[in-house]
Amino acid sequence: MTTVVAAVLTPVLGGIVSYIIWQSKKSSDNVSKGLNDLHTCVHEVSRKVDDVQLDIAKNYCTRDELRDHIDKEEDWHDQHHQEVKELRREFNEKTERLSHDVSEMKDMQWMMRMEQLDKKNNL
């Protein structure tokens, strides 16, 4: 009976051990492949960052040029603000004059009507 048990258990145990060894090798290969892919990806990202740094240096302006541009733009905005402020002041002056002229015209019209009424009453 022991020989039958040994004859059955030995191949089963051998198969289990083989399966465990195969799974650990497969897992080890997958981990190794994953680490290699990660290493490759990190190198690609590093290369892209270097390329971007070079492109920025080639295609864009320096910090001093950017600061000069910003200063010029601020000056332009200040000048534009002053021009708008001056136009608004002129507009307000003209509006006041127009309002005054319209008021005088109404007064004159009223006076003319009153004179006509007086003439009519005197007749």
Query: Which of the pair, 102 or 8, is modelled with greater confidence?
Result: 102
At 21-41, the pLDDT tens digits run 888 888 888 888 888 888 888
Residue-wise pLDDT for 88-116, tens only, equals 999 999 999 999 989 899 999 999 999 99
**pLDDT tens readout for residues 62-90:** 778 888 988 999 999 999 999 999 999 99
Structure tokens at 80: 């534009």
CA distances to 46, 62, 100, 112 from 54, rounded to whole Å, are 12, 13, 67, 83
Instruction: State the CB neighbour count (10 A cutoff) for residue 77.
Output: 10
